[in-house]
Amino acid sequence: RTVAEFGRIDFVVAGAAGNFLSPLAGALLVPPLLALAPLVTLVLTILSRAQGRANAFKTVLEIDTLGTYHTFKATIDELCKTKGSILAISATLHYTATPLQAHVSAAKAGVDALIKVIGVEYGPRGVRANVSLRLSPEARRAELSATPC
Protein backbone atom coordinates (compact mmCIF):
# COMPACT_ATOMS: atom_id res chain seq x y z
CA ARG A 1 0.00 0.00 0.00
CA THR A 2 2.86 2.40 0.77
CA VAL A 3 4.36 1.89 -2.68
CA ALA A 4 0.95 2.38 -4.31
CA GLU A 5 0.45 5.65 -2.48
CA PHE A 6 3.98 7.11 -2.44
CA GLY A 7 5.71 5.28 -5.29
CA ARG A 8 8.67 3.80 -3.40
CA ILE A 9 10.25 2.98 -0.05
CA ASP A 10 13.67 4.47 0.59
CA PHE A 11 13.97 4.27 4.37
CA VAL A 12 12.43 2.08 7.06
CA VAL A 13 12.62 2.48 10.83
CA ALA A 14 11.91 -0.52 13.05
CA GLY A 15 11.34 0.87 16.51
CA ALA A 16 9.15 -1.56 18.43
CA ALA A 17 9.70 -1.93 22.16
CA GLY A 18 8.12 -3.68 25.10
CA ASN A 19 9.45 -3.30 28.62
CA PHE A 20 8.68 -3.73 32.32
CA LEU A 21 10.64 -4.92 35.34
CA SER A 22 10.76 -8.69 35.66
CA PRO A 23 13.03 -11.03 37.61
CA LEU A 24 14.16 -14.19 35.85
CA ALA A 25 12.72 -16.38 38.62
CA GLY A 26 10.94 -15.39 41.79
CA ALA A 27 11.45 -12.15 43.67
CA LEU A 28 15.11 -11.38 43.11
CA LEU A 29 16.83 -8.53 44.92
CA VAL A 30 20.07 -7.16 43.54
CA PRO A 31 22.46 -5.12 45.74
CA PRO A 32 21.47 -1.63 44.47
CA LEU A 33 17.85 -2.44 45.31
CA LEU A 34 18.42 -3.79 48.82
CA ALA A 35 17.68 -0.42 50.47
CA LEU A 36 14.19 -0.61 49.00
CA ALA A 37 13.82 -4.32 49.75
CA PRO A 38 10.27 -4.39 51.20
CA LEU A 39 8.79 -2.21 48.46
CA VAL A 40 10.75 -3.87 45.65
CA THR A 41 9.84 -7.35 46.89
CA LEU A 42 6.16 -6.44 46.93
CA VAL A 43 6.26 -4.85 43.46
CA LEU A 44 8.24 -7.71 41.92
CA THR A 45 5.98 -10.32 43.46
CA ILE A 46 2.92 -8.59 42.03
CA LEU A 47 4.56 -8.14 38.62
CA SER A 48 5.81 -11.71 38.37
CA ARG A 49 2.44 -13.18 39.29
CA ALA A 50 0.44 -10.84 37.08
CA GLN A 51 2.58 -11.19 33.98
CA GLY A 52 3.73 -14.79 34.00
CA ARG A 53 7.48 -14.73 33.44
CA ALA A 54 7.71 -17.07 30.45
CA ASN A 55 4.87 -15.42 28.57
CA ALA A 56 6.19 -11.96 29.36
CA PHE A 57 9.69 -12.91 28.15
CA LYS A 58 8.26 -14.35 24.94
CA THR A 59 6.03 -11.32 24.37
CA VAL A 60 8.96 -8.89 24.51
CA LEU A 61 10.94 -11.08 22.08
CA GLU A 62 7.94 -11.08 19.73
CA ILE A 63 7.51 -7.31 19.93
CA ASP A 64 11.16 -6.31 19.62
CA THR A 65 12.96 -9.01 17.65
CA LEU A 66 10.15 -10.46 15.56
CA GLY A 67 8.68 -6.99 15.02
CA THR A 68 11.99 -5.91 13.47
CA TYR A 69 12.14 -9.09 11.40
CA HIS A 70 8.60 -8.63 10.05
CA THR A 71 9.30 -4.98 9.22
CA PHE A 72 12.35 -6.10 7.27
CA LYS A 73 10.48 -8.89 5.47
CA ALA A 74 7.65 -6.56 4.48
CA THR A 75 9.98 -3.98 2.94
CA ILE A 76 13.14 -5.72 1.69
CA ASP A 77 12.04 -6.09 -1.94
CA GLU A 78 11.42 -2.35 -2.20
CA LEU A 79 14.60 -1.50 -0.31
CA CYS A 80 16.58 -3.60 -2.80
CA LYS A 81 14.97 -1.72 -5.70
CA THR A 82 15.69 1.71 -4.22
CA LYS A 83 18.99 0.77 -2.55
CA GLY A 84 17.37 2.00 0.64
CA SER A 85 18.08 1.73 4.34
CA ILE A 86 16.65 0.05 7.40
CA LEU A 87 17.31 1.50 10.84
CA ALA A 88 16.47 -0.51 13.95
CA ILE A 89 16.09 1.21 17.30
CA SER A 90 17.83 -0.80 20.00
CA ALA A 91 19.16 -0.29 23.52
CA THR A 92 22.30 -0.92 25.54
CA LEU A 93 20.79 -3.12 28.27
CA HIS A 94 22.42 -6.28 26.93
CA TYR A 95 25.88 -4.71 27.11
CA THR A 96 25.62 -3.88 30.80
CA ALA A 97 23.61 -6.80 32.24
CA THR A 98 20.84 -4.61 33.64
CA PRO A 99 18.97 -6.25 36.54
CA LEU A 100 15.32 -7.21 35.94
CA GLN A 101 15.75 -6.64 32.19
CA ALA A 102 16.78 -10.08 30.85
CA HIS A 103 13.81 -10.17 28.49
CA VAL A 104 14.62 -6.78 26.94
CA SER A 105 18.33 -7.57 26.89
CA ALA A 106 17.71 -10.78 24.94
CA ALA A 107 15.26 -9.10 22.57
CA LYS A 108 17.52 -6.14 21.76
CA ALA A 109 20.57 -8.40 21.36
CA GLY A 110 18.48 -10.28 18.79
CA VAL A 111 17.63 -7.02 17.02
CA ASP A 112 21.32 -6.07 16.86
CA ALA A 113 22.31 -9.48 15.48
CA LEU A 114 19.47 -9.47 12.94
CA ILE A 115 20.47 -6.05 11.59
CA LYS A 116 24.10 -7.16 11.27
CA VAL A 117 23.02 -10.20 9.23
CA ILE A 118 20.74 -8.03 7.06
CA GLY A 119 23.72 -5.75 6.39
CA VAL A 120 25.93 -8.67 5.39
CA GLU A 121 23.29 -10.38 3.23
CA TYR A 122 21.74 -7.32 1.60
CA GLY A 123 24.63 -4.84 1.64
CA PRO A 124 25.94 -6.22 -1.66
CA ARG A 125 22.50 -5.42 -3.13
CA GLY A 126 22.77 -1.80 -1.99
CA VAL A 127 20.70 -1.97 1.20
CA ARG A 128 22.15 -0.28 4.28
CA ALA A 129 21.23 -1.70 7.69
CA ASN A 130 22.08 0.08 10.93
CA VAL A 131 21.19 0.07 14.61
CA SER A 132 20.61 3.17 16.69
CA LEU A 133 21.36 2.66 20.37
CA ARG A 134 19.72 4.71 23.07
CA LEU A 135 22.38 5.39 25.64
CA SER A 136 21.51 5.55 29.30
CA PRO A 137 21.77 9.05 30.83
CA GLU A 138 24.92 7.93 32.68
CA ALA A 139 26.57 6.67 29.48
CA ARG A 140 25.60 9.86 27.65
CA ARG A 141 27.09 12.05 30.41
CA ALA A 142 30.30 10.00 30.30
CA GLU A 143 30.41 10.33 26.52
CA LEU A 144 29.93 14.11 26.71
CA SER A 145 32.52 14.54 29.46
CA ALA A 146 35.06 12.63 27.36
CA THR A 147 34.44 14.84 24.33
CA PRO A 148 37.01 17.64 23.98
CA CYS A 149 35.57 21.17 23.78
Q: Active-site residue among 22, 90, 105, 136?
A: 90
Catalytic-residue membership of 108: yes
DSSP result, 22-66: --SSSS---GGGGGGHHHHHHHHHHHHHHH-HHHHHHHHHIIIII
Q: Active-site residue among 83, 108, 116, 132?
A: 108
The alpha carbon torsion through 54, 108, 19, 102 (nearest 10 deg) reads: 50
Catalytic-residue membership of 90: yes
Please identify every residue annotated as catalytic. Answer: 90, 108
